[in-house]
Structure 1
């Protein structure tokens, strides 16, 4: 590999010798004295938009020993796959990492004097490629379903702390990011979709029967105290529910699940959410194909107002909610004014 142009005085240089080559020039290469397989050196191919995240250390690799690793930014998840290359990829270390004066093959003293030589430390057979994927939220659901919060779980903080040390069925945020292959933003969205709540530092899903009980108590107090559906005072509501035996975190969680905040400390109860459905969205798979398959097994035709709550948490790279509908459903609309109906494609 020699088409040598006129070069500066003799020197063994590193990657800079290649990066700073003038147009139409070339550089000789030689085996570095430390040439070898160097399995600890891996090439990673990046999209340009990901480069700043890597350069500024804003990415993490996540996965258990028995899982394929994923790379996560704050908002996206990417699988990491090896892709072989047909051409040889030569790794040349920076000049400040070279061990000068060692023996090299195919490079005699005369070449060393006349030419600038870039020493190759490894020949890479391929690169690691990133492919954006949907977060693996099913594992989050599995972990939190191990021990849902029930009425008999109103324990003292110190008791729960002690259980957390000895019982792996309680998971903090750091436990979840270590076990669930999803970015931080996707993990937060997954927790929200599961209606999870943080209690004493551990994330829990609340048993549906327990949620039914606190919702019924909220509705009872709403009538008893003549509260407005559109103007629930958070402090007052939480105080009353606490006096009825519900922990503060669960009382606040009830407002978040069944209502929306309209002002500082004021909530509006969503009448649509006050109905308890046996077909719970948290019981559905997170993979779009499996989700739609289960939905259409439950009901062959869906109006949009009924279908939307069951697909709004779905995530698929490159597909919006409309794109998912086009891919997995068939839309019919008898008249322009009629409500569209969706069936299986």
Structure 2
């Protein structure tokens, strides 16, 4: 049954409201026949203005996650946690409902608009910016590392391979974040599939390059791409040589010729990983001697090149060093700290920083993370951090 103008005026009088102070249009709401059933067919999503603008511009937002994962929503370049928020106020779905601002712009006489409620909800989805969940990306690509075109694995079609679309389907991150992480992992696209080079094969390529630099007496700051491809092409695919140069150097053009400036830090770091990967623990003094001997002449090894790759135990006698890669640590903040404190009870900020730097969100500092997940104390005049909770 629809309300009449007289009934509306009577209601205003009972409520002691002055009709002259209100907009002339009166909305009379009523539930449609399918309102209750339709309520479960819709989800409300609260978006920040930037995401609204992307949708209005025709871009897509994608929900990603397997059945055992907490869903995330991804734009082209950001990732958001997707969580349900309850509200004590019932939210109504009213098609073509006009807001007070829209009504003010219309010249309407005093009238009644009967509006049908299409559905309702007591909750909505809210978004919170989060770090992309990229640990799975490396895990998938490490299932089938690339060992070269002649390896037996390449002849066996049973090994898993992933295209860009496959990764977008399985990784809880935006496309830009995934592509950026592929660069960090030094992944390359081979025949349409993203692959990580097997470390031994990567070292083989790097040795070819450094030996050529040595034999030609080139500067490591000026390695010509074309000559490298010509000289090393008979040994390995040209795209692999170019990829190796890209991983360990910075590309630039001079007088129309493409050159790479090879990074001494990256080469020294790779040499250290090669030495440490097969040793549980290494005498630090012996390691430093062997490490320096294993890098090309003219390069100087330094322990600060190994941040996030290896850890030095100064309290051991003799002092030791061992492989500890930040990539192998848990992705969750609390689990990361639990793992680190189970490995070592007390950490200096200098030692722990490389292993938690990637946990910092927007505008978050290492100091803030340490304050939240650890306790500080002074030991022999040095500030150290230990766990806030017992570690089993």
TM bracket (short chain):
0.7 to 0.9
State how far apart, in whole Å, the 2-side matches of 1:262 and 1:302 are. Answer: 39
> SS in structure 2 opposite 1:146?
helix
Equivalent in 131, 134, 137 of residue 134 of structure 2: 137
TM-score by length of 1: 0.72
Equivalent in 243, 254, 260 of residue 267 of structure 1: 260
Judging changes above 3 Å, is the alpha-carbon distance between structure 1 residues 80 and 315 closer, same or farther for their aligned structure 2 residues?
Answer: same
What's 1:246 paired with? 236
Q: What CA deviation, in whole Å up to 9, does each residue of 1:168-211 have, x standing for no partner?
A: 71001111011101011211222122221111111111111111
State how far apart, in whole Å, the 2-side matches of 1:131 and 1:341 are. Answer: 34
Q: What CA deviation, in whole Å up to 9, does each residue of 1:36-82 have, x standing for no partner?
A: 33222211111223221222242222223443432111221012211
State how far apart, in whole Å, the 2-side matches of 1:318 and 1:3 are. Answer: 57
Give the aligned CA root-mean-square deviation in angstroms. Answer: 3.8
Query: Aligned runs of 1:271-286 on 2, under 5 Å?
Result: 271-274=264-267, 275-277=271-273, 278=277, 279=323, 280-286=325-331
What's 1:34 paired with? 34
What's 1:43 paired with? 44
State how far apart, in whole Å, the 1-side matches of 2:7 and 2:231 are. Answer: 86
What's 1:233 paired with? 224
Return 5+ residue gaps in structure 2 as ranges. 9-21, 98-110, 278-322, 388-392
Shift of 1:308: 7.0
Q: What CA deviation, in whole Å up to 9, does each residue of 1:210-258 have, x standing for no partner?
A: 1122222222111111111110111222333322x22223212211222
Shift of 1:25: 6.6
Query: Aligned runs of 1:57-76 on 2, under 5 Å?
Result: 57-58=58-59, 59-76=61-78
What's 1:81 paired with? 83
Return 5+ residue gaps in structure 1 as ranges. 8-21, 96-113
Judging changes above 3 Å, is the alpha-carbon distance between structure 1 residues 82 and 308 closer, same or farther for their aligned structure 2 residues?
Answer: closer
Q: Greater shift after overlay, 279-288 or 224-233?
A: 279-288
Shift of 1:123: 1.6
* Contact 2:138/2:185 (<8 A) preserved: yes
State how far apart, in whole Å, the 2-side matches of 1:146 and 1:224 are. Answer: 36
Structure of greater relative contact order (alpha carbons < 8 Å, 6+ residues apart): 1
Judging changes above 3 Å, is the alpha-carbon distance between structure 1 residues 6 and 75 closer, same or farther for their aligned structure 2 residues?
Answer: farther
Q: What CA deviation, in whole Å up to 9, does each residue of 1:7-40 have, x standing for no partner?
A: 9xxxxxxxxxxxxxx6597521111233233222
Give the number of aligned pairs. 301
Equivalent in 207, 212, 217 of residue 221 of structure 1: 212
> SS in structure 2 opposite 1:27?
strand
What's 1:18 paired with? none
State how far apart, in whole Å, the 2-side matches of 1:61 and 1:342 are. Answer: 41
Q: What CA deviation, in whole Å up to 9, does each residue of 1:295-339 have, x standing for no partner?
A: 6766765785x877666655535425675566568699x99xxxx
* Contact 1:281/1:310 (<8 A) preserved: yes
2:318 is equivalent to residue 316 of structure 1 = no
Judging changes above 3 Å, is the alpha-carbon distance between structure 1 residues 272 and 32 closer, same or farther for their aligned structure 2 residues?
Answer: same
State how far apart, in whole Å, the 2-side matches of 1:273 and 1:133 are. Answer: 30
What's 2:319 paired with? none
State how far apart, in whole Å, the 2-side matches of 1:231 and 1:293 are. Answer: 45
Q: What CA deviation, in whole Å up to 9, does each residue of 1:262-288 have, x standing for no partner?
A: 436211111111133243444344445
TM-score by length of 2: 0.64
Shift of 1:130: 0.8
